[in-house]
Amino acid sequence: MILAIDVGNTNTVLGIYKDGEMIAHWRISTDKDKTVDEYGILLKNLFSVENIDTKNVKDIIISSTVPPIVTVLEQASREYFGHFPLVIGPGVKTGMNIKMDNPREVGADRIVNAVGAYQKYKGPLIIVDFGTATSIDAVSENGNFIGGAIAPGIGISTEALFNYAAKLPRIELKKPDKAIGKNSIMAMQSGIIYGFVGQTEALIKKFKEELSQDSTVVATGGLVNLIAPETKMIDRVEPFLTLEGLYYIAKLNGIEG
């Protein structure tokens, strides 16, 4: 079995793969203050709930946008699973050329998403990730990562309204009954949900114009289910796209689950 770990700024998603199939998955809060033992015990407990023996894990692969956590997870992997994990970074085979001014500055999650999407749908592709930030990336027909756009995420924007507008409350992120809100909460929900739908559609349209080809649009991320149902411009929703990309990269680098 292979344990794939995707560390995001807000959440960490974990998945266990056996014979090419994901047999269990979890989403936990990302906490850079957790110790090695705290992460180790948490992972052990998650495995226990699913009645999975940690001894069956043959390798671990990690993608992280939070550098301080990588060292902690590396040590937890060694002490609690007996394996030194493969961490996505320079020198790791991904099977994808990064056609950027500075390839090293591209977040690991963006590359892994692109790899996962290309393996499933080939190119050209537009990948939308609704996470702490909203990232939209493009993959060419022949599988090159050619760039993208990054915008503040839905959660960040919602918190900004609460923190910087004195009379606006903190709200639940959900679709309002109508776009024309009859109170402050519904008005904020409308502005956030439909505003992000408009932003997403506008960027997808611009990307398609620049790609000059019919592209498959794949969406992922923790907040994907808020936006994807409200637009017809998203072709596929893949909640575990990053984990699937990690699994493919693991196999590409000789890791057998």
Q: Strands 59-64 and 86-87: what pairing?
A: parallel
Domain 2-87 in CATH 3.30.420.40? The answer is yes
Residue ranges, comma separated, of all CATH 3.30.420.40 domains in the chain are: 2-87, 122-240
| CA 49/CA 253 separation, integer angstroms | 30
* Superfamily covering domain 122-240: ATPase, nucleotide binding domain (3.30.420.40)
Catalytic site residues? 109
b/e string for 87-103 if b means 16 or more Cβ within 10 A?
Answer: bbeeebebebebeeeee
C-alpha span between 234 and 26 (Å, rounded):
25
Residues with Cβ within 8 Å of 245's Cβ and at least 6 positions away in sequence, in order, are 63, 111, 112, 113, 114, 115, 116, 117, 119
Token readout for 14 is 């974990």
What tens-digit pLDDT sequence spans the chain (257 residues)?
Answer: 999 999 999 999 999 999 999 999 999 999 999 999 999 999 999 999 999 999 999 999 999 999 999 999 999 999 999 999 999 988 899 999 999 999 989 999 999 999 999 999 998 999 999 998 999 999 999 999 999 999 999 988 888 887 887 677 778 888 888 999 999 889 989 999 999 999 999 999 999 999 977 899 999 999 999 999 999 999 999 999 999 999 999 999 988 76
Strand, helix or coil for residue 20:
coil
Instruction: Quote the CA–CA distance of 212 and 205 in Å, as a whole number.
Output: 11
